Structure 1
Amino acid sequence: MPDIDIAVIGAGIVGTSTALWARMRGHRVLLADPNPPGSGTSSGNACTLATYACLPVNDPSVLTGLPKLMVSRDSPLAVSYVHALRNPRWMLSFLANCRAARARTIAGQLADLLSHADAGLNPLIAEAGAEDLVVARGQLSVWSTEAGAQGAEAGLALRQRLGIPFTELSPEQAREMEPGLRLPIERAVHFPAARHIRDPEELVRRMHARFLELGGTWRQSTVTGTRAHDSGVEITLDDGTYTAGHAVLAAGAFSKRVRGAGAERLPLGTERGYHLLYAGEAARVTRPVGWGEGGFYAVPMARGLRLAGTVEIAALEAPENAGRLDYIARKGAEMLGPLPAPDSHWLGFRPTMPDALPVLGPSPTSERIIHAFGHQHLGLTLGGLSGRIVTDLAEGRQPNLDITPFRPSRSFAPL
């Protein structure tokens, strides 16, 4: 008989959500990570439950703008030339998914998943007693140039067709909503269903604490490998070995480092994201505000004002890019007026597949190992739902939504 029912590898928002869902259903659960729960990529995001964010980074404009993206210091998307040459298959697959028809398909698949996101996360927020961390003021998106405003038209029209609610605002209405904005406003949209979390790391910590209260097992240890067999999965940690009925791989961008779990066969890449934190400036905005041309968010949170976002496609182990931090600081001042020196900065690693869709389903190596990673910008938003889905799979139950587009066995570069 296995030592435990479900072993969860990774204690970010996805892994901790999975562990809590599974324990709430009465399973014997082991959660393992070498780092404290929520301290990795889950700690530094833009704090937003972005149920509207179905438009993938795979945009047709990338196809025409790629040469500039590799050299420009004034773009929200940066691509490492060296990394692209070392990973040609990933880059070609990424670009194949930037075709207009394919990007529309991806948006529809993400919209379907996002429509269930709150139902996956809300029960965990309630279970963890974390309602005080949730702010329901929607999200404001603004564009500061005529070209940007026109460029947003296709994406907004697609969102409208996909049933995502939003309200068009005049520049005056946007300024009334957020008087701290200093940039020109050509177009503004409010997404009323969006919420934000005052401290994402604290949310994961509370979920983890509730998991322990319910009798879950925690090991702050590295999972070095897995070995599946007919009756279960052998999990090897730094400090021992366990047998489990099922294992869930939710180690984000580091999932390929777990030997034998099957992620090493998949084209898992990394979108590196940055943020700056200004401890005394949270009052600059009252809700998450995204600047379209800038490619980042200004978010009021418990720790201060966080300017978070941009995308850097580069190696997981590449050094911190000071140019990305400088970009956010410069653009932040354009957006909100002069800012003091930031109190801290951060680099995190968004796990990203070349089609911008998460991986949810049985591993190529065994149905006893379930994958739950690749959520790119949507880990906080989709973590609770992903945890519920993979718990269903471990129980042999069919989730109440179609997860076929997210299966690990899919083609990542469709013709």
Structure 2
Amino acid sequence: MADFDIAIAGAGAVGMSCALWVQMRGHKVLLMDPEPPGSGTSYGNACTLATYACLPVNDPSVLTSLPQLMFSRDSPLSLSYAHALRNPRWMLSFLANCRAAPSRRIAGHLADLLAHADAGINPLIEAAGAQDLVVERGQLSVWSTGKAAKAAAAGLERRRALGVPWREVDPEEALEMEPGLHLPVKRAVHFHAARHLRDPLEFITRMHRAFADLGGTTLRAKAETVRASDTGVELQAGGQSLTAGHAVIASGAFSTQIKGAGTQKLPLGTERGYHVMYESEGHRVTRPVGWGEAGFYAVPHAKGLRLTGTVEIAALDAPANPRRLDYLVRKGAEMLGSLPDPDSDWLGYRPTMPDSLPVIGRSPQSDRVIHAFGHQHIGLTLGGITGRLVADLAEGRQPNVDLAPFAADRAFA
């Protein structure tokens, strides 16, 4: 008999959601991670349950604006050329998916999955007793130049066509909603159905507590190898050998490092993201506010103001880039006026496939191994529905979401 019904590698937003979902279904579950739950990439996110975020980073504007994005001091994108040369497959596939037709297809798949996001995460919020962490004030996006405001129109209409609700807000109302803004607002849109969490780490901590209360087991160790058979899987983690009926790979950007899981040859890249925190400035905004041109969010966090976002394409083990932090500090002052020196900063690793779609489904190598990673900017948003889908797969149920677009063996360009 196996030691566990299901073993889950990774205790970030996605892995923790998977663990709590299958534990709520009555299974004997093992959660493995060398670090405390939620302390990795999930710790530093924009706090937003971004059900509107169906437009991929792969956008045709990337192709037309690539020189400016790569070389401008005010670009929200940073690229390590050495890393790009070492990973041409990912880079070329990413750019191929920036063409109009693939970008539209990707947006449709993300919208289909995001339509189930609330149904996936709401039971976890209830199980974790985290209702007090949820704020229903929507998300405000602003553009500060006429050119950018006009360029945003196509994407907004695509969202509307895909079922994402939003309403136009005139500049005066935007400044009434968020009087802390110091930008010249040329256009503003309120995604009124969005929510945010006052503290994502606290949410994941409470999910872990609920998981443990229901009988879940946690092992502070890294899953190193998986060996699947017709009857189950054998795992090596922290010098221990364990058995389970199924293994779930939910280790984010580190998922390809687990041998035997069917992940090692996948083109999993990393969009490195940064944040800076101002402990005394939490009053500056009352909901997540995204500045379109600058590519980042100002977020009210339980512990202050968080400025977070931008994209850096670089290696997992590359040192933090101080220019990215300087960018957030400088643009944050443009957005909100004078700010003190930040109290802390952070670097995280968004796991991203070159088509911006997560990998959710059974491994091509074995039905006993289930993949759940690659959620790029929206792991917090999609963690709940991913967990529910993983529970269905482990139980042999037919998921109510078509998982073909998220299969590990799909074409990536």
Normalised by the length of structure 1, the TM-score is 0.98
Q: How many residues align?
A: 413
Provide the rounded CA distance (Å) in 2 between the counterparts of 1:265 and 1:119.
32
Provide the rounded CA distance (Å) in 2 between the counterparts of 1:403 and 1:79.
31
Matches within 5 A, 1:69-84: 69-84=69-84
Q: Which residue of 2 aligns with 1:342?
A: 342
2:405 is aligned with 1:409: no
Task: Tell me if structure 2 keeps the 8 A contact 1:70–1:81.
Answer: no
2:99 is aligned with 1:99: yes
What is the DSSP-based 3-state SS (H/G/I as helix, E as strand, rest coil) of the residue aligned with 1:260? coil
Q: Which residue of 2 aligns with 1:232?
A: 232
What is the DSSP-based 3-state SS (H/G/I as helix, E as strand, rest coil) of the residue aligned with 2:307? strand
Letter in 1 for 2:113: L
Give identity over the alignment, percent.
70
Q: Which residue of 1 aligns with 2:243?
A: 243
1:364 CA drift (Å): 2.5
Task: Tell me if structure 2 keeps the 8 A contact 1:256–1:264.
Answer: yes
Deviates more, 1:95-104 or 1:61-70: 61-70
1:173 CA drift (Å): 0.6
Provide the rounded CA distance (Å) in 2 between the counterparts of 1:63 and 1:94.
11
Provide the rounded CA distance (Å) in 1 between the counterparts of 2:69 and 2:313.
10
Letter in 2 for 1:352: T
1:338 CA drift (Å): 0.5
Task: Tell me if structure 2 keeps the 8 A contact 1:73–1:323.
Answer: no
Q: Which residue of 1 aligns with 2:169?
A: 169
Task: Tell me if structure 2 keeps the 8 A contact 1:69–1:79.
Answer: no
2:142 is aligned with 1:142: yes
Provide the rounded CA distance (Å) in 1 between the counterparts of 2:303 and 2:409.
41
1:66 CA drift (Å): 2.6
Letter in 2 for 1:160: R
1:73 CA drift (Å): 2.5
Q: Which residue of 2 aligns with 1:62?
A: 62
2:198 is aligned with 1:223: no
1:409 CA drift (Å): 1.1
Letter in 1 for 2:407: R
1:265 CA drift (Å): 1.6
What is the DSSP-based 3-state SS (H/G/I as helix, E as strand, rest coil) of the residue aligned with 1:367? strand
1:67 CA drift (Å): 3.4
Q: Residue deviations 1:81-133, cap 9 Å, x none?
A: 11111111110000010001111111111011001000000000100101111
Q: Which residue of 1 aligns with 2:120?
A: 120
Q: Which residue of 2 aligns with 1:184?
A: 184
1:69 CA drift (Å): 3.1
Letter in 1 for 2:280: G
1:302 CA drift (Å): 0.4
1:294 CA drift (Å): 0.8
Q: Which residue of 2 aligns with 1:214?
A: 214
Extract unaligned runs of 5+ from structure 1: none
Q: Which residue of 2 aligns with 1:374?
A: 374
Task: Tell me if structure 2 keeps the 8 A contact 1:3–1:243.
Answer: yes
Letter in 1 for 2:178: E
What is the DSSP-based 3-state SS (H/G/I as helix, E as strand, rest coil) of the residue aligned with 2:256? helix
Provide the rounded CA distance (Å) in 2 between the counterparts of 1:225 and 1:152.
45
Extract unaligned runs of 5+ from structure 2: none
Normalised by the length of structure 2, the TM-score is 0.99
Q: Which residue of 1 aligns with 2:30?
A: 30
Q: Which residue of 1 aligns with 2:12?
A: 12
Q: Which residue of 1 aligns with 2:2?
A: 2
1:147 CA drift (Å): 0.6
Q: Residue deviations 1:304-358, cap 9 Å, x none?
A: 0000000111111111010000111110000000000000000000000000000
Q: Residue deviations 1:253-301, cap 9 Å, x none?
A: 0001111111102100000000000001010000000000010000001
